[in-house]
Structure 1
Amino acid sequence: MNSWFPPAAKPKPVENGIKARSKRGAIAQTWWSERFIQVLESIVVGGRLQRGRTYARKGQVIELAIDAGEVTATVQGSRAEPYRARVGLAAFEPGAWARVDEVLAGDAWYTAKLLAGEMPADIEEVFTSLGMSLFPASAGDLSMTCSCPDWSVPCKHLAAVFYLLAEAFDDDPFAILAWRGRERDDLLKALSALRNGPAAARDTAAADATAGSTAAGGAAAGGAVPLTECLDSFFAAPRPAPRRTPVPAPSDAVLDQLPAIGVTVRDISLVDLLRPAYRALGRGQPAMDDPEDPLR
């Protein structure tokens, strides 16, 4: 019996395309990229998922760019002209990001993780508590287009983009936040200012204003001052570093920064068990002599 359809055309090979590191099995390696792939696999059916992985592993994606609100890519298919693919996801407004910054800065656990370049495992809960969703919850959260003639959305070209996005998120979890409208440097700068208090925020704003005025003054004068004319001041600090007065804190304050552990001994939480020991150490006495020990 003759088939009504011709065999599928093979994609044209690409030199120096973006290839997925994974050669078989799952592509996502971290929990945050797995969350993203779960959305893809919930909306793609049939062989397009497999063909998308094949495209990603063969290097058929030529370019991939992540910007606030959209991911754009060019994907080489069977035709001479590469296809243009786009995956849109709404970026959060500055006001929404300001609320996220305040919550993240209020918890030393989140701040330490993010400053170390790691994505906190429960960061989704921060967004959820504010009525926001870090990851797309369904296909309805995404706008997807491809210039290929395939009627199905997402097509195999978009699926390939999804898989390479997952690996990009493995390499840099901040790329997820950038897609939602928050660049890494801007986020860390805001967290540092909020953690250090209003004075740090004012210092940051003053430094930005000074830099802008200096740049404007240099432009008005016809450009930057030649190095030979400013050697005496080139390596000097533009202004004295702000003096910080350490704020005394109880010796057990660090326990309040821990995430919820959920471990109990004799119906007493682990944090409450540790607290007397921390207080005793702060007073310079053996922990076993502390009268506040709940197990005494």
Structure 2
Amino acid sequence: MSDRPFWAQEDYAGGRPIRVEGGIRIHAPKHAVARSWWSARFLSVLDQLGVGGRLSRGKTYARSGQIVSLDIDAGAAVALVQGTRPQPYRVRIGLRVWDKPEWRRVEEALAADAWYAAALLAGTVPTEIEELLGELGMSLFPEPGNDLSQDCSCPDVTVPCKHLAAVFYLLAERCDTDPFTLLTLRGRDRAALLERLREERDRAAGTAAAPAAVALADRLDDFWSAPTTGTVPPRPPETEPGAVLDQVPEPGLRAGRDRLTDALRPIYATLADPEGGTERVGNV
């Protein structure tokens, strides 16, 4: 029993959180929350910052749908989390927004290779983006210092409390389904970033020097020869076999106790790797 009076404790002693009708919950009750490398990296960075060891406190809240609302915008994710008290707690997780010069460097670097925009549009974050940002002295993920802030209106002095931890889990899953989540927190949502990349590519193309014209008579000797130099086509973005399942609304149908999309993932994996996925499909 805590020495603090009941009204100063995180939740009423012995009470259970008030159930939320239609609350937001993570959709991985049996499996790891992070399915993509960037989502797993997000959780591992939190662990390095001393946050990860206390995240398990909020897993039950995240799975049972105690999160009433979640809004993600530049600089912060703000949520309402229902505890045992009638009034939900207000949770805020802040991430430092990159300033204009920083975003200009990022946009120029991303626009220099159209493959990055293609990968983001395909619903994935290439691992190379972490190295690219590192060369700019930046990181997509929270860094030590004042990069990450946490605040909850509950009286619990432990940081993160279970309400903050629940929102961290939900953020990790949002990163799985929407690779722009962390970019939005850094200050650019999907539409704004893709538009800036298009403008940057158009600007670069407009300033590129046009190739000098060569008379046909001067090219007769090598007209039918293959060019010795040329532009290497961008490599196609690598995506997870089931990435499309993260981009569509969850159907109302279920496969036994599992969600339909979870049941379909082994089939998508088999289509991408027929030889290695035969056993997985047989177990569906």
Superposition TM-score, scaled by structure 2 size? 0.67
Equivalent of 2:129 in 123, 127, 138: 123
For each residue in 1:211-257, what CA deviation from the matched residue of structure 2 results, as whole angstroms up to 9, or x when unmatched? xxxxxxxxxxxxxxxxxxxxxxxxxxxxxxxxxx9999957534475
2:26 to 20, 29, 34: 20
Stretches of 4+ moved more than 3 A in 1? Answer: 3-8, 196-201, 245-259
1:164 aligns with 2:170: yes
Amino acid at match of 1:44: V
CA offset at residue 72 of structure 1? Answer: 0.5
1:17-56 CA-to-partner distances (Å, cap 9, x unmatched) read 001101124111111111111133342376x432311100
Query: Counterpart in 2 of 1:208?
Result: none
Pick closer, same or farther for the CA change 1:246–1:30 going to 2, 3 Å.
Answer: farther
Q: Given the alignment of the two structures, is residue 72 of structure 1 paired with residue 84 of structure 2, yes or no? A: no
Q: How does 1:167-206 map to 2 (within 5 A)?
A: 167-197=173-203
| Rounded Cα–Cα distance in structure 2 between residues aligned with 1:118 and 1:250 | 34
- Among 118, 127, 149, the alignment partner of 2:155 is 149
Kept after mapping to 2: 8 A contact 1:11/1:79:
yes
Would you say the 8 A contact 2:46–2:52 is kept in 1? no
Aligned to 2:249: none
Aligned residues: 213
> RMSD of the TM alignment (CA)?
3.0
Mapped partners of 1:45, 1:190: distance in 2? 34
2:39 is paired with a residue whose SS is: helix
The residue type paired with residue 69 of structure 2 is: E
Instruction: Report the CA distance shift for 1:139/1:27 in structure 2 as closer, same or farther (over 3 A).
Output: farther
Q: Which residue of 2 aligns with 1:212?
A: none
Q: Which residue is 1:62 aligned to?
A: 68
Contact kept? 2:184, 2:190, Cα under 8 Å: yes
Q: Deviations over 1:175-205 (max 9, x none)?
A: 210100012112111222222345779xxxx
Which residue in the other structure is 1:82 paired with? 88
In structure 2, the partner of 1:111 is 117
One-letter amino acid of the structure 2 residue matched with residue 146 of structure 1: C
Asked which structure has the greater CA Rg, the reply is 1
Matched AA of 1:16: G
- TM-score under structure 1 length normalisation: 0.64
Q: Distance in 2 between matches of 1:60 and 1:26?
A: 19
8 Å contact from structure 2 (residues 73, 185) kept in 1: yes
Find the counterpart in structure 2 of residue 242 from structure 1.
none
Distance 1:77 1:246 in 2: 66
Bigger RCO (CA 8 Å, 6+ sep): 2
Which residue identity lines up with residue 162 of structure 2 in the other structure? K
CA distance in 2, matches of 1:179, 1:27: 20
Q: Output the amino acid matched with 1:182.
A: R
Q: 1:7 to 1:16 in 2, by over 3 A?
A: same
Shift of 1:139: 6.8
5+ unaligned residues in a row in structure 2: which ranges? 4-11, 214-225, 237-284
Gapped runs of 5+ residues in structure 1? 202-244, 260-296
Q: Percent identity?
A: 51
Distance (whole Å) between structure 2 residues aligned to residue 170 and residue 44 of structure 1: 20
- Could you tell me whether the CA contact under 8 Å between 2:62 and 2:166 is conserved in 1? yes
Contact 1:88 1:144 in 2 (8 A): yes
**Counterpart Cα distance in 1 of 2:212 and 2:71:** 44
Amino acid at match of 1:84: R
* Counterpart check, 1:51 vs 2:57: yes
Structure 1 position 36 matched with structure 2 position 49: no
